[in-house]
Structure 1
Amino acid sequence: MNVRQTLTAAALFLVWTNAAGAAACGNSAAGFGAWLEDFKQEAASEGMSRHVIDAALADASYDRAVISRDRGQKIFRQSFEKFSARLITPARLNRGRALLQRHANLLRQIEARYGVPGPVLVSIWGLETGYGADNGNFKTMQALATLAYDCRRSAQFTQELKDALKIVQRGDMSPAQMRGDWAGEIGQTQFMPSSYLKHAVDFDGDGRRDLIHSTADALASTANFLRGSGWRPDAGWEEGEPNFPVFLEWNQARVYARTLALLATKLSGGQ
């Protein structure tokens, strides 16, 4: 290798190490600002509107509350008996039954198109947000940026953050409207941005896929997700039956999937 080749190689090494350092994740707030600026450049280089990027991330900061929630998910370690008893309360059952009646026509239309029965959709709605009563109040962009910067699942949440920007760019929501749970879940049934892009539908026909304010869009999109995950119409959903694995696509925690199946069975009139 001659001197010119050596210098070129050294220059390339410096470029590579600087890029790697700039893109590095972190476990404290110290490097978040620099990481965020690098992310913005990366998103712009992939075709995202600079206006959308700047508007969505203008006030994003490292959110310690998000990190605390991410590190403290102990509820899924509970026994099925304890977990299900905590979530399937008489009040939740009664509310679910009332909503099945109120939205009977809508749910019939959704089942006709996607093959997913009303009790299943209402059960997800109830477990995720208390039937839309609590969609979460975390700033979605800030939550996703924090988790994308954090080293635990950086690659996964970097892509989710890019997908959230795409939702804004295609006009479904403004950055200010994007509020939800701590991990970036959006809407009445808590869609991650990647699932929103793939499965959100405009079922009420107003020209927008609004999973926050439109019950029709939220429930139909949930049915579309389940169908896309392998839901079989008229098949069972209890553990060991054909549709139970689809619940695990919705949430990988088996205790949650079993609770979801139980609530759907109760709402459908079973024991």
Structure 2
Amino acid sequence: MRIALFSLFTILFMSVTPALSATCGNGPGGYEAWKQSFIANSSSYGLKERVVKKALQGLTYNKKVVRLDRNQKSFKLSFKQFYAKRVNNAMIKRGQKLGKTYARIFNGIERKYGVPAPVILAIWGLETNYGSFSGNMSVLRSLATLAYDCRRSKFFTNELVNALMIVQRRDMTPAEMKGAWAGEIGQTQFLASSYMKYAVDWDRNGKRDLVRSIPDVLASTANYLQKHGWRRGQPWGPGTANYRVLKKWNKASVYVQTISVMAEKIGS
């Protein structure tokens, strides 16, 4: 009888706490049930059930994504090793060339946000080699898998909800949402939550498109930094206020140092 009462209480509790109704897992076994529960509770996240159902339809558990999440080795390298692995002279020269190609856009962005072109170019180059490869994995499939996975379920559930908000707002279709394994979107690899907060429609076409619109990509990156405290006209090397802002972009010290050094070289 005690078990039956507990079960009844659990059902009632779950019915008023939608976010807890889907149980995470450490393997594919419970994924489909989790997904159906998530869809059923769409409204609790401010999402339309029909949008979520259509967006997640057919998405299966991705073992590769979970494996990659457990095996992140790049940030264990020293700065010298990381920089040598990720940056070369050709990237610096290409950044300088792109700075000239999009000079008018960069000038407008710096006037509004205070972030100079070399910093944005360094991030753009380091994240996706200036948009050459921003990932070809389904963002929604990756985020649904990681939201279900117990390791960082709360964090990735939030990212999944934000990604679905992007779809619901019609900025992008599910098919257009291709990215890196952890669900990063676009040419400077915004997480979906950052996309919702900081993406801007610089080209004024009615959509905030960080996959195909270079003006939107560059301006959104500057907006992110500005909103996190970027100080206009000040340096960005170690020990500066702007260096601390770069740490908001990526917590890995080798990554931040690489952005800083790369930006100096592009701007020289």
Q: Which residue number in structure 1 is paired with residue 83 of structure 2?
A: 84
Write out aligned runs for 1:216-235 (5 A): 216-235=215-234
Contact 2:19 2:41 in 1 (8 A): no
Structure 1 unaligned residues grouped into runs of 5+: 1-6
Contact 2:159 2:192 in 1 (8 A): yes
Q: CA deviation at 1:242?
A: 1.4
Q: Please tell me the residue identity of whatever aligns with 1:75.
A: S
Q: Which residue number in structure 2 is paired with residue 30 of structure 1?
A: 29
Q: Which residue number in structure 1 is paired with residue 198 of structure 2?
A: 199
Q: Which residue number in structure 1 is paired with residue 9 of structure 2?
A: 12
Write out aligned runs for 1:192-271 (5 A): 192-269=191-268
* CA deviations over 1:205-259 (Å, ceiling 9, x no partner): 1111011000000000000000011100111111111100111100010110000
Query: Matched residues in 1 for 2:241 and 2:176: separation?
Result: 37
Structure 2 unaligned residues grouped into runs of 5+: none
Deviates more, 1:34-43 or 1:135-144: 34-43
Q: How many residues align?
A: 265
Q: Please tell me the residue identity of whatever aligns with 1:11.
A: L
Identity %: 46
Are 1:128 and 2:127 an aligned pair?
yes
Q: CA deviation at 1:54?
A: 1.3
Please tell me the root mean square deviation across aligned C-alpha atoms, in Å. 2.1
* CA deviations over 1:6-37 (Å, ceiling 9, x no partner): x9777324544798985221110001000111
Q: Which residue number in structure 1 is paired with residue 162 of structure 2?
A: 163
Q: Please tell me the residue identity of whatever aligns with 1:265.
A: E
**3-state DSSP class of the match of 1:175?**
coil
Q: CA deviation at 1:93?
A: 0.9
Q: Please tell me the residue identity of whatever aligns with 2:51.
A: V
Q: CA deviation at 1:45?
A: 3.4
- Compared CA separation, residues 73 and 81, structure 1 to 2 (3 A): same
**3-state DSSP class of the match of 1:135?**
coil
Query: Matched residues in 1 for 2:7 and 2:166: separation?
Result: 41
- Compared CA separation, residues 8 and 239, structure 1 to 2 (3 A): same
Query: Matched residues in 2 for 1:60 and 1:261: separation?
Result: 39
Query: Matched residues in 2 for 1:218 and 1:14: separation?
Result: 45
Q: Please tell me the residue identity of whatever aligns with 2:179.
A: G
Q: Which residue number in structure 1 is paired with residue 180 of structure 2?
A: 181
Q: Please tell me the residue identity of whatever aligns with 1:220.
A: A
Q: CA deviation at 1:59?
A: 1.5
Q: Please tell me the residue identity of whatever aligns with 1:29.
A: P
Write out aligned runs for 1:94-105 (5 A): 94-105=93-104
Q: Which residue number in structure 2 is paired with residue 3 of structure 1?
A: none
